[in-house]
Chains A and B, each alone.
Chain A
Amino acid sequence: MIRLISERIKLLSNNETFKLFLTYKRGIIGLLLLSLMVFLALTADFIAPKKFDEVDPSSRLLPPSIKYLFGTDHLGRDVFSRVIYGARIALWVGLLVVLVEAGIGVPLGLLAGFYGGRVDKFISAITDLIWAFPPIVLALAIVTILGPGLTNVVVAVAVVSWAPYTRVVRAKTLSIISREFIIAARAIGESSFSIMLRYILPNTLPPIIVLATLTIPSAILYTTALSFLGFGAQPPTPDWGLMLSEGRDYIFKAPWCCVFPGLFITLTALSFNLLGDALREVLDPKLRYG
């Protein structure tokens, strides 16, 4: 253990972030698991034995076998193929949600931290307001207004969960803004916009990356939850949440319809959490060996 820590300190002082990351076992497990999901998502067209919407009434609710690895559902569709295609949707949605969240939250955090005063009070008030709502209820309300569909779900989930980005970026901006290189930037005549873009934003990236890996799983969970409730993807989309919802009626007769999508939701969320945990320790010096 002591050898591991001293090894980490050495790598840290040499700024070998990647090698440092490799000393975290859970990070590697998370990365491998995530790579598997990405691989499945990318190569779904080649790996999947059947098309995700290929209905076969003669083989309904068959248990897992060599022909149907994860069994078949109530319409005789191959659960394995659907789960693989589902990885594509889940990852894409997770990524999209995080991009929209960061797109809203990061600029607001920068403005609040940089200008302070009234701007900060205003932005922080909105952030607290959003934070105070139970996210799934607010997301439901937004989807109800926008109408069902995967895109609307992405928007809804992003709109209810950008607040952590604003908080993190604001706090980081406050700590950076008093450093001398910001005064030096002013002294050479940099504009406020340029200072935010070139001097503050790059220095807030590590916590943003960590936050992104930690919010992707909740984004995936929220979108699958909304799909499960019928607001998100519509049949026959192989969305994991939708598959859970459809399999619910047959949960005692054919549990594999629910078990496998559920397992993949869990594994995907877990992979991001493990990766994010390790990244946080690698990128955030305050938590290092603390």
Chain B
Amino acid sequence: MKKYFEFKKGIFSKPQYIRAVDGVSFSVNKGTTLGVVGESGSGKTTLGLTILRLIEPTSGIILFNGRDIMHLNRDELKWFRRSTGIVFQDPYSSLNPRMRVKEILERPLKIHTDYDEKTRSEIIVKTLEEVGLSEEHLMRYPHELSGGQQQRVAIARAIILKPLLVVLDEPTSSLDVSVQAQILNLLLDLQSKHELTYIFITHDLLTARHISDYIMVMYAGKVVEYSTTREVFTNTKHPYTLSLLSSIPIPDPKLKSRRRIEITGEPPSPLNPPKGCRFHPRCPYAIEMCKLKEPELLEYSKEHFVACHRASELDFTELLKDITSFFA
């Protein structure tokens, strides 16, 4: 059994055509994690919200279990909401400040099931324990919990109905480093326990590497590279991915002179993306063709898609040596 999402769309919102996500296409298999990596403004959050139909795409189709989610009737939409969940970056703002934890977790059950009061509280307590909280947190308000605990409640809300797909929008970015690791491991545990499918949105390649089976790198609303996590880390093909990789600090004192690929400038405005390759004004490897023609996302090798004119001629093995040897 495979679950299949396909995605092809561009968001053109009036009046100025902000191309938040433009012509992105991918699929996620059941029980796996797709990491979506990109800097702020690259369209990754928009992508996540669109997949769950929380905002409407301008065009394109999204298939969930073989069904196009843009054309669901009332019951099907309810089923879709039941089968998906979302966790946001800021846990405090994602929980209703006027609801106690119990009520926050009870709402999905009340909407989608007809369990009685007793069954509901059993499920709530069980889910709370699964995310590392306990009965004592039931009657608390969100502001009475720590950031990590709030995020656990948000995760509990997303998984309480055993969904098929969970979109994780930077779920660890606003937490302390020690808590980040706990939350990541919790997410991995839950995934193997319930066979969850994750779309993990992050700006941090290392976090993505920790949790993802596949990684998709986005730049200015476009996918620049997409492959298995291993391929992206060891056989990087796109200069933008390379620059992200070389910005990862390597905790090795023996490593004295490390060659970094530094890019300058700001990411382009989505209102007015540069002609040709959107990365060319910042790309150290840009040639004349990059300014003229936008590269397509092509399958460079099996399961490895790159959108770069020079993908086949550039070889970053030497540059990546430090990092690949460190993560090997």
Q: Which 3 A-B pairs have the closest CB atoms?
A: A189-B81, A202-B98, A180-B94
State whether the Cβ of A22 lies closer than 8 Å to any Cβ in chain B: no
In the complex, what residue of chain A is closest to B143 when comparing beta carbons? A15
8 A Cβ contacts from A194-211 to B? 194, 198-199, 202-203, 205
8 A Cβ contacts from B52-78 to A? 52, 54, 77-78
Task: Check if B93 sits within 8 Å of A181, measured CB to CB.
Answer: yes
State whether the Cβ of A188 lies closer than 8 Å to any Cβ in chain B: yes
Task: Check if A188 sits within 8 Å of B94, measured CB to CB.
Answer: no
Task: Check if A187 sits within 8 Å of B84, measured CB to CB.
Answer: yes
Task: Check if B112 sits within 8 Å of A183, measured CB to CB.
Answer: no
What bracket does the count of chain A residues touching chain B fall in? 10 to 19
8 A Cβ contacts from B86-105 to A? 86, 88, 90, 93-99
Contact of B88 among A180, A198, A205 (CB under 8 A): A180
- Write out the residue numbers on chain B whose beta carbons fall within 8 Å of the beta carbon of A194: 111
Task: Check if B111 sits within 8 Å of A189, measured CB to CB.
Answer: yes
State whether the Cβ of A184 lies closer than 8 Å to any Cβ in chain B: yes
Task: Check if A203 sits within 8 Å of B97, measured CB to CB.
Answer: yes
Task: Check if A186 sits within 8 Å of B54, measured CB to CB.
Answer: yes
8 A-B residue pairs with CB within 8 Å? A180-B90, A181-B94, A181-B97, A183-B88, A184-B154, A189-B81, A198-B99, A203-B98
Contact of A179 among B77, B93, B112, B158 (CB under 8 A): B93
In the complex, what residue of chain A is closest to B109 when comparing beta carbons? A188
- Write out the residue numbers on chain B whose beta carbons fall within 8 Å of the beta carbon of A187: 52, 54, 81, 84-86, 158
- Write out the residue numbers on chain A whose beta carbons fall within 8 Å of the beta carbon of B90: 180
State whether the Cβ of B23 lies closer than 8 Å to any Cβ in chain A: no
Task: Check if A199 sits within 8 Å of B81, measured CB to CB.
Answer: no
B residues contacting the other copy or chain, number (CB 8 A): 27
- Write out the residue numbers on chain A whose beta carbons fall within 8 Å of the beta carbon of B86: 183-184, 187
State whether the Cβ of B157 lies closer than 8 Å to any Cβ in chain A: yes
State whether the Cβ of A281 lies closer than 8 Å to any Cβ in chain B: no
Task: Check if B49 sits within 8 Å of A183, measured CB to CB.
Answer: yes
Given contacts A181-B93, A181-B96, A183-B49, 18 further A-B contacts (CB under 8 A): A15-B143, A179-B93, A180-B93, A181-B94, A183-B86, A184-B94, A184-B95, A184-B154, A187-B81, A188-B81, A188-B157, A189-B77, A189-B82, A189-B111, A194-B111, A198-B96, A198-B99, A205-B98
Task: Check if A189 sits within 8 Å of B78, measured CB to CB.
Answer: yes
Report B306 CB to chain A, min CB distance, Å.
33
State whether the Cβ of B273 lies closer than 8 Å to any Cβ in chain A: no
- Write out the residue numbers on chain A whose beta carbons fall within 8 Å of the beta carbon of B88: 180, 183-184
- Write out the residue numbers on chain A whose beta carbons fall within 8 Å of the beta carbon of B84: 187
B117-152: CB near A (< 8 Å → 1, else 0) gives: 000000000000000000000000001000000000
- Write out the residue numbers on chain B whose beta carbons fall within 8 Å of the beta carbon of A190: 107, 111
Task: Check if B111 sits within 8 Å of A188, measured CB to CB.
Answer: yes
Bound-state CA distance A185–B95 (Å) is: 9
- Write out the residue numbers on chain B whose beta carbons fall within 8 Å of the beta carbon of A202: 96, 98-99
A197-229: CB near B (< 8 Å → 1, else 0) gives: 011001101000000000000000000000000
- Write out the residue numbers on chain B whose beta carbons fall within 8 Å of the beta carbon of A188: 81, 85, 107-108, 111, 157
Report B53 CB to chain A, min CB distance, Å.
9
Bound-state CA distance A225–B150 (Å) is: 52
Bound-state CA distance A188–B87 (Å) is: 11
- Most chain A beta-carbon contacts within 10 A, residue among B77, B86, B88, B98: B98
Bound-state CA distance A290–B172 (Å) is: 33
- Most chain B beta-carbon contacts within 10 A, residue among A179, A181, A185, A199: A181
Bound-state CA distance A96–B52 (Å) is: 45
Report B224 CB to chain A, min CB distance, Å.
27
In the complex, what residue of chain B is closest to A191 when comparing beta carbons? B111
8 A Cβ contacts from A232-254 to B? none
Given the interface pairs A188-B111, A188-B157, the reply to whether A183 lies near B54 with Cβ below 8 Å is yes
- Write out the residue numbers on chain B whose beta carbons fall within 8 Å of the beta carbon of A199: 96
Bound-state CA distance A133–B81 (Å) is: 47
- Write out the residue numbers on chain B whose beta carbons fall within 8 Å of the beta carbon of A185: 96, 107
Bound-state CA distance A187–B78 (Å) is: 10
- Write out the residue numbers on chain B whose beta carbons fall within 8 Å of the beta carbon of A15: 143
Bound-state CA distance A188–B78 (Å) is: 9
Bound-state CA distance A183–B85 (Å) is: 11
Bound-state CA distance A8–B310 (Å) is: 63
Bound-state CA distance A205–B77 (Å) is: 32
In the complex, what residue of chain B is closest to A13 when comparing beta carbons? B143
Bound-state CA distance A199–B95 (Å) is: 10
- Write out the residue numbers on chain B whose beta carbons fall within 8 Å of the beta carbon of A181: 93-97
Report A140 CB to chain B, min CB distance, Å.
40
